Amino acid sequence: MADFPIGMAVSAGDENRSMLDIQAKQETIAHHFSQLTAGNIMKMRYLHPQENTYDWTEADELVSWAETNGLSIHGHTFIWHSDYQVPDFMKNYIGDANGFETLLDSHVTTIADHFRGKVDSWDVVNEALHQQGDGVGVGEGNCYRNSLFYQKLGKDYLANAFTAAKAADSGADLYYNDFSTEGGDDDKFACLLILVDDLLDNDIAIDGVGFQMHVQIDWPSTDDIAAAFQAIVDRGLKVKITELEVPVNNPWGAASFPQYTSFSEAAATRQKARYKAIVETYLTTVPANLRGGITVWGLWDGDSWLLNLSERAGSDDWPLLFTGDANGPYEPKPAFYGVAEALSEE
């Protein structure tokens, strides 16, 4: 076992195929992993559906299971722009900026306080940076997503959230989390550094950066990944891989799509090498004291969110570390052994 968290993202609560309803999932996760991330049930609308109402039931159940089974929790996430996850009372707020700031800070404070001592780390803000295709960026360098939170408070909402979270739970590590920052999108990576440096320059309590790592089997290069990690290490911050998977088919690749119509030996071998190279890059680039951990975004291939993306319509894929049937048993794939080999060879 690694000396840093090896995590797994899970469905829980009333979600379809909740891990708490499937014994084989519980057994596999408890045996192979040391940390859990809730895919949905610790996001905004789940925990705080109405202004004066918090619902802890589902999240508390997952946290309790983790504690009983010796796993830690990475919280995901206090603030995320996605419309279906922003509570209606926030979207419909008609007061002034000061009132909205108080409302949002109270949201962060209340959740952080509830889970104080039970959650090791948090994605404080998720995906605040502008992504090409998601509208026009705003703020310095047009870096920021023009979200509800930016419209109400400008970029200050990030600093406010980190400050509120640290005040409520000084023991939890606090991360900024985003995608397409691990190489291949130079503009977004430059914006990540602007965001991070702004927080550091203002003595805001950020502990690390989460790289989602929704990568392709052939993109970005490990050199680009290493450079991104190194820039965060150079700032004295922790690096956490938060949402890793490696599909074998790349809809944007040079070859015709899909590149593999079955999970052939060639596909499995290539995927194993890619997983192993990513973990090796992490271990080589990030010193032990700055390793926040590595989390894979789902247990077995059939649960992957990628299977429902429109750009993958009509094609299969096998992006995760385990294969099997819906209710188990789940069998490790070559990719699993690629990760294990990288960890054992350090």
Q: Active-site residues: which are they?
A: 127, 243
Let me know if 255 is exposed, middle or buried by CB neighbors in 10 A (0-12, 13-18, 19+): exposed
User: Residue 3: CB partners within 8 Å, gap ≥ 6?
Assistant: 288
Structure tokens at 142: 């047009």
Residue 333's closest CA among 299, 292, 284, 291?
299
Please answer whether residues 52 and 107 qualify as being in contact, where contact means their C-beta atoms are separated by less than 8 angstroms. Answer: no
User: Residue 201: CB partners within 8 Å, gap ≥ 6?
Assistant: none
Structure tokens at 211: 């790289």
Residue 217: other Cβ atoms inside 10 A: 19
| Single-letter amino acid, residue 346 | E
Residue-wise DSSP of 248-259: S--TTSSS-S-S
Instruction: Please give the backbone phi and psi of residue 110, each rounded to the nearest 5 degrees, phi first.
Output: -65, -45
Residue-wise DSSP of 63-96: HHHHHHTT-EEEEEEEEE--GGGS-HHHHT--S-
Please answer whether residues 131 and 188 qualify as being in contact, where contact means their C-beta atoms are separated by less than 8 angstroms. Answer: yes
Please answer whether residues 247 and 213 qualify as being in contact, where contact means their C-beta atoms are separated by less than 8 angstroms. Answer: no
What is the C-alpha separation between 101 and 79, in angstroms, rounded? 13
Looking at the DSSP assignment, which residues form a beta bridge with residue 173? Answer: 121
Residue 121's closest CA among 297, 343, 293, 299?
293
Residue with tokens 């499937």: 22
What is the C-alpha separation between 141 and 298, in angstroms, rounded? 34
